[in-house]
Amino acid sequence: MISPSSFGFVADFLLRETAMVCEPGKEYLVEARLLPLARAAGVADVDRYVDLLRTDAVERGRAADALTINETSWFRDLAPYQAFTDVLLPQLLAARQDRRHLEIWSAACSSGQEAYSIAMLLDESLPPGWTYRIHATDVSPTMLERVRAGRYSQVEMNRGMPANRLVKYFTRVGREWEVSADLRRTITTEKINLAAPLPGIGLYDFVLLRNVLIYFDVDVKRDILRRFRARVAPDGFLMLGSTETTLDLDDTWIREAAGRAWVHRPRQPAGVRPATGTATATSPATPSTSHPTRLTTTGA
């Protein structure tokens, strides 16, 4: 088992370089994620590997990637995607008649399943003449490279991808499946550390920041929400994970029901209302019972 000092070092550098919290009790998971890297680096065990990390920034990047890998699904949780097509998209189509273009941000996009899931829905639902861009960002360059490549293993394809969309949007390339060039063209990527100031300008119509806040301590969470507030269009939507909420952190958001999911909208100054607000405002969130999904082992 990884030594306390090695674990402490890993937790510190993760916090420093990705702002992710890695609490005691996760030793087994850190060990499981780093062991293959230790072997690849030719060292005997994880403690020796952590010694390597102390002096090797490139290897630290690899370790950070391995530790932040998200075991993720296509159309994960379904309800947010149903909410998007059934509730949010009709509102956005009405609100963006003049521009006929949607800007979407998949923040902490991991290997891109969320971004491409949204792309498939838009491909199937947008009226002719409309365009969209999905900006996929992550702290990990390895993940962004994967998003651009748009290639997924068999096991990844099994996770929630409806068979009819698999045959429609993917072709087999060797042992992997590659998403169509048409969908890849709608995705842009950028390395963004959510804990640092956000680069770029412009407003997004729909922002997905799902199952990410849970990894940050409360001050960082509050800060992230404040900075995202400035990037969501006044009549746009922010989607958090099903168990996450802004309400206890930041009163500049309104939480609304959208089908079986929840969305957050920027609260407008008194007297100003977004043009399309039709969803119902609701009572504060109940505490969550689910668990974070990063830093988990693969289900067998």
Start-end of H helices in the chain: 4-18, 27-40, 46-55, 57-68, 79-83, 89-95, 113-125, 141-149, 154-158, 163-169, 181-184, 218-229
The helix/strand/coil state of 127 is coil
Shortest gap between Cβ of 228 and other proteins (angstroms)? Answer: 20
User: Which whole-number Å values give the CA distances from 175 to 72, 83, 152, 184, in the listed order?
Assistant: 19, 33, 9, 19
Tokens of 174: 């060797």
In the complex, the smallest distance separating the C-beta of residue 199 from other proteins, rounded to whole angstroms, is: 31
Residue 127, both tokens: 């009226």
Work out whether 78 is an interface residue with other proteins (CB under 8 A).
yes
Pick the binder of other proteins from 55, 280, 283, 289 (CB under 8 A).
Answer: 289
Question: Of 75, 116, 215, 253, which lies in the binding site for other proteins, with binding defined by CB under 8 A?
Answer: 75
Q: CA distances (Å), 253 to each of 54, 82, 87, 238, 267, in order?
A: 41, 22, 18, 9, 5
Count of residues of this chain found to bind other proteins when the rule CB under 8 A is applied = 40
Q: Quick one: which of 15, 41, 126, 166 contacts other proteins (CB under 8 A)?
A: 166
| Element of type H or E holding 261 | strand 261-266
Say whether residue 296 binds other proteins (CB under 8 A). no
Position among 153, 230, 247, 282 found at the interface with other proteins (CB under 8 A): 153
Residue among 254, 244, 253, 250 nearest 286 (CA):
244
- Minimum gap (Å) between residue 74 Cβ and other proteins: 8
Count of residues in the chain: 300
Region binding other proteins by CB under 8 A among candidate stretches 172-180, 205-213, 246-254, 273-281: 172-180
Q: Choose the stretch contacting other proteins; rule: CB under 8 A; options: 5-13, 73-81, 110-118, 248-256.
A: 73-81
Q: Binding of other proteins at residue 160 (CB under 8 A)?
A: yes
Q: Would you say 131 or 171 has its CB closer to other proteins?
A: 171
Indicate whether 36 belongs to the interface with other proteins (CB under 8 A): yes
**Residues making contact with other proteins (CB under 8 A):** 35-36, 39, 73, 75, 77-79, 153-155, 157-160, 162-164, 166-167, 170-172, 174-175, 242-243, 260-262, 285-290, 297-300
